[in-house]
Structure formats: C-alpha cells, structure tokens
Amino acid sequence: MPDSRVPRRRRYLVCEPRHFAVQYAINPWMHPDEPVDVIRALDQWQALVDTYRAHGHTVDTVKPVPGLPDMVFAANAAVVVDGRVFGSLFHAPERRPESVPYEAWFKSEGYEVYHPESVCEGEGDLVPAGRWILAGTGFRTTREAHSEVQEYFGVPVISLTLVDPYFYHLDTALFVLD
C-alpha cells in the first residue's frame, strides 16, 4: 500500500519568460504602459523550476518564441488526462499562435494531441478533479469546448460560469486539492 505521506511525483511543462512582456491587455490585470522586469521574471522562473526539481518533479521546457510574450502561461496551452492532450484554441487573436509550439512539443514527446474546434484555453479553464473535469466559461473557453472535452476524454464535465473579469480563467478562481 502506498504511503499517503509521500508526495506524488509530477511532470511539469514550463516556458522560460525570456520574451515575457505586457504588449496588449486581454484581462484587467494587464497594463501595457507598465514595464515588465524580465530579469526578475527570469530569476523567479528559475527559482520555481529549481524548487520543483528539488522536490523530485520532472520539469520540461518549451522554447519561448519571440513575439509570443504570454507563452509563459503554459497551463493555458493544453490539458493532459491519462497521457492524452487536449490542445488550445485561444480566445485572443494575439495568443492563438502559441498553440503551435506547444502542440509540436507534445507530439515530439509522443503524446496524442487533439486540436479543438471551439475556443478553449487548456488548464486555464479545464481543471481535472477526480473523475470529473471542472470547466470554466464566461470569458475565454466556450461551452462548446466543454462538450468536445467530454467527448475526447470520456470524462464527465461540470460547466461553471465565471462572472468576475478579474477571475477570467477557472484556475484563477479555484484550486483542486486531491
């Protein structure tokens, strides 16, 4: 019997914030007129990666692409359930090209990747919770994507409507503990 006190090792996919900037505003937190301290962002990112690895987790990286400053928000690129990947189709036109390098990375690692037909922002709005997937809608991911997710994974989806623009993604409004 596994010891419940021993944390489960996880695999994380991240993107270095080398090109991170706020060049446009697609949520109330973004202010293009306020500069980003890229050196600080790089230091914080490295500290996070080092912490994950120090705790025995695997950390993989997707190469950042110039002109795609929001690639650092890797969770929005996909949701992975049982080794299968449901990719993204971003709401904001500025972010849509991000799905290409993420899908390429997953495919290069041998994952089956599904590219959605409906607007969907990965783990930003799709949160696995035991035998369900909690799915946010209201600002980014559409309800039609919820149906695609349920069909693709064969897992019941519980739709939740977000109403506060400061919590534009489900993962900004809740966190599931197992």
Domains with residue ranges and CATH for the chain: 11-172 (3.75.10.10)
- Over residues 94-104, the pLDDT tens digits come to 999 999 999 99
Q: pLDDT class for 70, splitting at 50, 70, 90?
A: very high
Residue 1 has pLDDT above 70, yes or no: no
Q: Are 87 and 114 in contact (CB under 8 A)?
A: yes
Q: Across residues 42-57, what is the average pLDDT?
A: 97
Tell me the HSE value of 72 on the side-chain side, using a 13 A CA sphere: 19
Alpha-carbon Rg for the chain, nearest whole angstrom, is 16
pTM for the whole structure: 0.92
Residue 122 host element (H or E): helix 122-125
Distance (Å, whole) CA 12 – CA 93:
26
Is the pLDDT at 3 greater than 60? The verdict is no
